[in-house]
Amino acid sequence: MTVEKKAVAKKPAPLQKPRAAKVAAKKKPTWDIGDIDTWGPDRHELGATIIEAGNSVFNETGGWRSEVPLIDSEKCDGCMLCYFYCPDASIIIENNKAVGIDLEHCKGCGICAKECPTDAIVMKTDEKE
């Protein structure tokens, strides 16, 4: 059994408002699926097609995460690899440094931590309330 490495990152910088949240605040969904949980068979688009591009900004999709990246911005050298590799566009960059994670969309895949050349990102068990 391997002992889980303790995350030693300092307290991360206070989370900025995620990019997705900013976008969501600016635009409104044109495809209203607010009550989709109640939709019966006849209300859906044929073939489950998603007819509004980028509508994940309106929806929290990170709920199934079991690990969460922890960023030490002081170690970050601004190479942007985490930003480019992230499949969910969840890395928050400010002043050319990774400063936080959009936790509404991060699924905890760990690619950012794997790619980070300066070990500025470590994965930690996501302890949910």
Partner 1 sequence: MATTESEILAVTGNEAVAEAMGQIDPDVVCAYPITPATEIVQIYAQMVADGKVGTEFVTVESEHSAMSAVIGASAGGARTMTATSSQGFALMWEVLYVAASYRLPIVMTTVNRALSGPINIHCDHSDTMGGRDTGWIQLYGENHQEAYDNCIQAVRIAEHMDIRTPTMQMYDGYVISGAIGPLQMLTKEQVQKFIGPYHAINPMLDTKHPVTVGPFDGLHGWFFEHKVSQNRAMERALTVIQDVADEYAELSGRQYGLLDPYRLDDAEVAIVVVGSTAGTTRMVVDKLRAQGVKAGMVRVRAFRPFPHAAYAKALEHVKVVGVMDRADSFGAQGGPVFLEVRAALYDSDPRPQILPIIYGLGGRDIFPDNIEQAFAVLQKAAQSTKPTSTERRYLNLRKD
Q: Contact residues for partner 1 (CB under 8 A)?
A: 36, 39-42, 44-51, 53, 64
From the number of C-beta atoms within 10 Å of its C-beta (0-12, 13-18, 19+), residue 122 rates as buried
Between residues 16 and 61, which has the closer beta carbon with respect to partner 1? 61
Nearest to 123 by CA among 75, 79, 69: 69
Between residues 8 and 48, which has the closer beta carbon with respect to partner 1? 48
Q: Tell me the closest approach of the beta carbon of residue 127 to partner 1, in angstroms.
A: 21
Between residues 17 and 44, which has the closer beta carbon with respect to partner 1? 44
Residue 3: which residues within 8 A CB-CB, separation 6 or more?
A: none
